[in-house]
Amino acid sequence: MYLYTEDDLFDIIEYLHDHCSQPLSGYYHDWNDCGMHYDTFRQEVSGSTPLFSTP
């Protein structure tokens, strides 16, 4: 029996995406459509939204 659902996993991934290590600067690498390469990241947590909120 699993304690968490797939939705729970995606909620945590979304939270981490929104609040951790936000890129601040980098450069675009166009070889083979590689994309952005970031070298500086935000050190502090961006935002104060709790992971789980109650209505």
* DSSP-assigned states of every residue in 32-45: GG-EEEEEEE--S-
| pTM score of the predicted model | 0.43
Residues 6 or more apart whose CB falls under 8 angstroms from that of 28 comprise: 35, 36, 37
pLDDT value at residue 51 = 54
Q: pLDDT tens digit string along 3-53? A: 989 999 999 998 887 777 778 899 998 888 888 998 988 776 655 555 555
